[in-house]
Structure 1
Amino acid sequence: MISTEETLLGKSLEELTYWAQQQGQPAYRGKQLHQWLYQKGARSLEEIHIFPKTWREKLKNYPVGRSKIKYRTISQDNTRKYLLSLDDGLIIEVVGIPTTKRLTVCVSSQVGCPMACNFCATGKGGYDRNLKAHEIVDQVLTVQKDFQRRVSHVVFMGMGEPLLNFEAVISAIKILNQDMQISQRSLTISTVGLPQKIIKLANQHLQVTFAISLHASNQALREKLIPSASSYPIKQLLEDCRKYVEITRRRITFEYILLEGVNNFSYHAIELANKLRGFQSHVNLIPYNPIEGANYQRPSQDKTQTFVNILKQQKIAVSIRYSRGLEANAACGQLRYSDSF
């Protein structure tokens, strides 16, 4: 098997131009190759018909770096979930979420996830490895090609913890921005929070949206929901978030999955407000999406609205995100890693 480091996808225009010249081709072939990879979504050199036939035939098996769609499901709202097979046979999931004005792709950053959050299907399914930058970009190209429309937004909210795959995620963001022309402000990184990583991300001085999966208003409750929280106290997490805002001058989104009878009582809302008061932030409430192997329940709309009202009374910016693709198991927290497909 040829190493994935040799794939063409993931290379910049300059790198592709150099590669083409090394193949004995004129420099302009690099620009053509760049366009076919990042705009047209070419899966092989053989399909780039503007290239000389003899060259295409010679390089028809050269690895471009594209996955194969193993399975696709479409929900009633046209949200589409894809199971993609990588070069080594491992499976990842990616979701395309369309509206009339935008097409958002929810990408995975790892094969599975080691964080083991007990309300998330991915964490219950195990972990295998980090994704390469080109494997992340491939997910966006796959969705774009299937929908036959340009992707406008990308959220790193699929399988995996993005900050555990820091270098590849940053590389993918730069490719999405520079090579696919997706604005950094239309890209979102979501993390449960890792020591030192938040400040490291801040020092990248990106214009991306940054989201913290908080899900609890105090340390004891957070540790029950997110095992890794035991090594990163919520007080320190929020201090690092404040430093992030100071460095980047960009607000932080705090994601909070509402679990009936667990973290959705009125005192939780007040406790959360006290921790975030004066913070340049926004709370994104997510009513729980059911998964197999977990006994949590989604709160009623009335209870959800009560939680919202308390936060608003406490002068906290808040909104509700009702997930798309629920019946196709494509909603937040429902993506599950498995090597048994």
Structure 2
Amino acid sequence: MARLTEIEPRRQAAAQEGGVGRIAMALLAVAVTLIAIWYGFIFLRDNQNTAPKIVTTLVAIVWGVGGVAALFFSANLLIEQFGDAAKAYLRPFVFVGPAVFMLGWFLFLPTLRTIYLSLLNNDSTQFVGLRNYVFAITDRSMLESFRNNLIWMIFGTAGCVIFGLVIAVLADRSKFENLAKALIFMPMAISFVGAGVIWRFIYYYAPPGEPQIGLLNAIVTGLGGQPQAWTSLLQPWNNLFLVIIMIWLQTGFAMVIFSSAIKGIPTDILEASRVDGATEWQVFFQIMIPAIMSTIITVTTTIVIFSLKIFDVVIVMTGGQYGTHVIATQFYRQFFTNRDFGRGAAIAIVLLIAVSPVIYYNLRQLGKQEGFR
């Protein structure tokens, strides 16, 4: 018994020493990984213009992918040296913490910086309080931008949702479903700048006497009509010609989501309703729509958020001329063209405030669907 009482403390001491040694090795692995990542950054920063492109590309791939993988592996190895309670507490910080840190660094801090700039004058040398916000909500050009964003939000969102839903229902009954969906979804692969360039050729207007190379005016003149400057006349309804581009791009997104939701409706319910004498309209409005209502809300709010932030299409098509400015293009004009940092920052915050309620509602809907559980 005496020997056992002497041996047990030694075992415990040895175990503690071994645990401390493993923790020290794990910490060393984390430190080495961080040093390697830092030196990889230094190499890419200092040699991006002198080293061969293939070398910098390979180093960037190995450094980026391998460095992140090594960092997570070494950090997880460190956590594994602790007890179960400590592991359960620390593991979220390792795997979620970097993402939260990056969001804070690149989103939260710049937001605070933007709020600070919005309270200063044009060159950020004097405090002016809420004067920039007064401009953002009372200036005539800003009110015009709010009106245009409302047009985008109402007509653009409605067009995307309605066309996406109708196409999803019709394609679900077609034997060419995959081909039809691929063609409708194809514009999603085009950037908004690229789409703007494409549609500039469609809407292109040439003065009288010159050939109409724009597709729409070529059709109009071919039918005996007069060519029109579609994106500059009929203000503010010329914005609708720009909204069509958004509908063309986003209908495929809505269609795919709706098609997936419709396929999730039990076929027994649909067949039973038809057997009971329900028409296709009744099946659509009284069974399909209620069954996928949560999906419709999610898609609608997502497209609303996009429509409030629209920028690329407007800046490529008209540059904001002819009464087509939106909030985002006004921010760009004030901040980068006029170099009025105070007004530009205030407009950016106004845009953030406009989008935030929709984002909050969207997250709540996803939470109810256990999207974050």
Q: Is TM (by shorter chain) over 0.5?
A: no
TM-score by length of 1: 0.21
Bigger relative CO (Cα 8 Å, ≥ 6 apart)? 2
Q: Which has the larger radius of gyration?
A: 2
Give the structure with the higher percent strand: 1
